Amino acid sequence: MNDRDLPLWLTAVAIPLVNVAVAFLAAGLVVTLIGESPFEALAIMLRGALGSDYGLGYTLFYTTSYIFTGLAVAVAFHAGHFNIGGEGQALMGGLGAALVALSLPQLPALVLLPLCVIGAALGGTAWAFIPAWLQARRGSHIVITTIMFNFIAGALLVYLLVGPLKMAGSMAPETAKFTDAAILPSIATMTGWFGWTVARSPLNLSLLIALAAAAAVWVLIWHTRLGYRIRTVGANPDAAVYAGISPARVTMIALMLSGGLAGLMATNEILGAQGRLINEFVAGAGFVGIAAALMGRAHPFGIVLASLLFGVLTQGGAELAFEKPRITREMIVVIQGFVILFAGALESLFAERLAALYQRFTVQEA
């Protein structure tokens, strides 16, 4: 039975939930083996991630980064490509935002902030250009080129942060602080404008930008001519050529849009939390975005939900590592790995069985 013949509740809800449940079961076994209670560990994680304004703020802060990188992977995926260069593209997004913020400190916030956000998107787009061109015009494998560009971006940023962009008089590899006009307001500040007090956290305006980006990607992929071309090329490049669509051109556009979305991740960290450009600020969000896109089935709504799950794992895992020293942060990475394993590599294992079970029951009822 084709996926298109299955009901939405089965493909979009039941199968991902089964994958997550099995991932948590496997992680629970690991926690049990090291002598801790998996139920207590789960309770600590959920309380740490969702049990207070402060914890929820951090959870949504991490969620924001994963939404951007998940959308980046999804757009490329619809065109039939696997962009795993989100780490490097986000780093260059941070560089783009920082260059704008440091070059135009005299501008008011209403002008400077949009320019910084555009700078972040352009930084990611520019970094995706060469891998996109190599894929579209020379047939180079996008996975290989984007991996290499991740390393190049990391090395380039280190060079800049210890050299030309290094803050004078500081030993730390970071730029000078941005002016207040280049820093996105926090959600705590924004809610304060309406008389609603919430605990302070790094959560900032980027969350709304990420949700707007998710809506924009939904419109682009399913309600525009370009989105139709992207999906056609992703489904069957030969049929696309027969229909008069240039796969090379669509590949270039899709991969550069993907890079731009990854670059926007920098708005959350650089413009919203740090207020300066620092080294390694991406912290693996580019790779988590791959898992979010796989688990969200490359649909913006699914990616938002999957990103929230990984946000809970990240923030709840930090609280868990604090309260249970035997469960280290590396253990949380293991749990995330289980989710990626069951939601990605082993997805068909359960999907096919659930589809067969559904087909059996529907045939019997008929």
Q: 97 in the Ramachandran plot: left (φ > 0), alpha (ψ -120 to 50) or beta?
A: alpha
Range of weakest confidence among 88-102, 324-338, 343-357: 343-357
Q: How many domains does the chain have?
A: 1
- Let me know if residue 192 belongs to a domain: yes
Signed CA dihedral, 279, 176, 190, 116: sign only: negative
Q: Is the pLDDT of residue 354 over 60?
A: yes
Residue 338 domain-assigned (yes or no) = no
Task: Domain of residue 170: give its range.
Answer: 63-296
Quote the strand ranges of the chain, DSSP E. Answer: none
Most confident of 1-10, 85-94, 130-139: 85-94
User: Of all residues in the chain, what percent carry a pLDDT higher than 90?
Assistant: 54
Cβ-proximal residues to 107 (8 Å cutoff; 6+ apart), any chain: 115, 181
Residue 174: strand, helix, or coil: strand
Give domain status of residue 358, yes or no: no
Other C-beta atoms lying within 10 Å of the C-beta of residue 260: 26
Q: What is the mean predicted confidence (pLDDT) over 118-137?
A: 94
pLDDT attached to residue 147: 92
User: Could you report the per-residue pLDDT of 247-306, keeping only the tens digit for each?
Assistant: 999 999 999 999 999 999 999 999 999 999 998 899 889 888 988 898 888 899 989 999
What gap in Å lies between CA 255 and CA 189, rounded to an integer?
35
In a domain, 52, yes or no: no
Write out the two tokens for 346.
């082993």
Confidence of residue 356 (pLDDT cuts 50, 70, 90): confident
The pLDDT value recorded for residue 343 is 67
Long-range contacts of 230-238 (CB under 8 A, 24+ apart): 230/75, 230/78, 230/79, 230/254, 231/78, 231/79, 233/79, 233/80, 234/77, 234/78, 234/79, 234/80, 234/81, 235/80, 237/80
Q: What is the mean pLDDT of the chain?
A: 88
Q: What is the pLDDT of residue 177?
A: 93
Q: What is the pLDDT of residues 73-87, one digit of tens each?
A: 999 999 999 999 999
Burial of 343 (0-12, 13-18, 19+ CB in 10 A): buried
User: Does residue 243 sit within a domain?
Assistant: yes
Q: What is the pLDDT of residue 318?
A: 86
**169 pLDDT more than 70:** yes
Residue 284: inside a domain, yes or no? yes
CB 176 within 8 Å of CB 165: no
Q: What is the pLDDT of residue 102?
A: 94
Average of per-residue pLDDT across 126-141: 91
CA pair distance 232, 207, nearest whole angstrom: 31
Query: Is 291 contained in some domain?
Result: yes
Whole-model pTM?
A: 0.90
- Give the DSSP H/E element, type plus range, for residue 288: helix 285-295
Q: Are 315 and 197 in contact (CB under 8 A)?
A: no
Q: Is 216 part of any domain? A: yes
The two three-digit tokens of residue 157, written as one number? 């940023």
Joined together, the tokens standing for residue 228 give: 């139709």
Q: Measured between alpha carbons, how far is residue 192 from residues 142, 157, 198 in Å?
A: 45, 36, 8
Best CA proximity match to 332, nearest among 30, 125, 10:
30
pLDDT digits (tens, 9 = 90+) for 19-70: 778 878 888 888 888 888 888 888 988 898 898 889 999 999 999 999 999 9
Residue 335 pLDDT exceeds 80 = no
The 10s digit of each residue's pLDDT in 200-256 is 899 999 999 999 999 999 999 999 999 999 999 999 989 999 989 999 999 999 999
CA atoms of 184 and 109, how far apart (whole Å): 9
